[in-house]
Amino acid sequence: MLSLDQLLQESERIEPVPQVVHQLMDLADDPDVPVSEITELIFYEPVITANLLKLANSAAFGFKKKVDSVQDAVVMLGLKRVVELALLASVTKSFRAPQAGYVLSKGQLWKQSVSCALMASTAADTVDASIKHIVFTAALLKDIGVIVMDPYMHKAEAEIKQAMQTDHLDLVTAERRILGIDHAHLGGQIARNWHFSDALATTIQDHHLIDAPETVVTETAMVYLADCMCSLSGINGALFCSHYEHYDRMLKQLGLTETMVNRMMSDFYSQKDNIYGLLAIL
């Protein structure tokens, strides 16, 4: 059985989200923050600056005028979008590698993580826009534990698959039974070590709603729903395809309908090529 302390020690090989991104996320909650304060923060981070300008000038945004500075990017994209892009740019390297133990090819974990983040963000626009960047971040990082647990999953692959197929277990329950810990719980602890809020870390930890109470916090419900949407859309890897036992209940809690969810998925698919084109730039 794996120990949490051992896995957290191993997680230190993953480059954490930079402090500047945490600062940007804090500033994004302040409607009165001057653009100059944002640009000054990013100015001293050359990698984030370069990636932000590459993204802003991509076909996905279609600006007629070339975006030459961080200030232009903030003005043209808006602060919340800039924060999202800075977060994407800071974690892309960690998520791109193949995860053989979870049957994910190179780039697949990255693609399903970004897709879930965008779907969660879209749901937040409808349900509660004030928590949009929290659910975006939680959905993006929800499978960070996968990166650390992958070698152990690879060794236990036959046992995990048998538990899932023979006993009809979901991935998280199979991980707990065979390895003693699951990727979601580990991910929540990594998020705490990276100095994210306890609310965000708990959303990552609980996003599969295993042992869930009747009502969960809105952020967790939204990330769970976005994960279901990715499974329904065929984006998630086979092992990650959600069990939908809480789906109807979460729809009801969030005040959403099947029609609204279908529209969100349709909107995502209409932008899919642009979105995946964006990912290729990073």
Among 185, 134, 122, smallest CA distance to 25 is for 134
Per residue in 228-254, pLDDT (tens digit) is 999 998 999 988 876 788 999 999 999
Chain-centre distance of CA 199, in angstroms? 15
Q: Residue ranges per domain, the chain?
A: 4-281
What is d(CA 105, CA 20) in angstroms, rounded to the nearest whole number? 31
Per residue in 48-78, pLDDT (tens digit) is 888 888 888 887 777 888 989 988 988 888 8
The matching CATH number, chosen from 2.60.120.1270, 1.10.3210.10, 3.40.50.1010, 2.40.50.140, for 4-281 is: 1.10.3210.10
Among 240, 235, 219, smallest CA distance to 145 is for 240
pLDDT score recorded for residue 242: 66
Three-state DSSP at 257 gives coil
pLDDT at 152 over 90: yes
